[in-house]
């Protein structure tokens, strides 16, 4: 499921990034790699999307977040 479907406070595991090489490279530089556990900090339904990855908070656009496939427990 896309990362945008995950509610605030829920942890998920990144499975894949459904985008081009430029998007995958940019998200990898932020620490968003397949197999990484992330926690959704802010998902208000509009505006930026905030996640916690390896102890750091990262802000990404909603379009980018919609390209990130995750599995939630």
% of the chain at pLDDT higher than 90: 89
Domain extent at residue 59: 3-71
Separation between Cα atoms, residue 58 and residue 28, nearest integer Å: 12
pLDDT classification of 46: cutoffs 50, 70, 90:
confident
CATH number at residue 48: 2.30.30.90
Count of the separate structural domains present in the chain = 1
How far does CA 64 lie from the centroid of its chain?
8
Residue 33 token pair: 């790699």
CA distance 11 to 23: 22
pTM of the predicted structure, to 2 decimals: 0.87
């Amino acid at each position: 499921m896309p990362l945008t479907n995950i509610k605030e406070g829920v942890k998920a595991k990144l499975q894949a990034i459904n985008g081009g090489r430029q998007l995958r490279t940019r998200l990898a530089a932020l620490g968003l790699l397949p197999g990484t556990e992330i926690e959704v900090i802010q998902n208000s339904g509009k505006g930026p999307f905030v996640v916690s990855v390896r102890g750091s908070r990262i802000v990404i656009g909603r379009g980018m977040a919609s390209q990130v496939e995750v599995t939630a427990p």
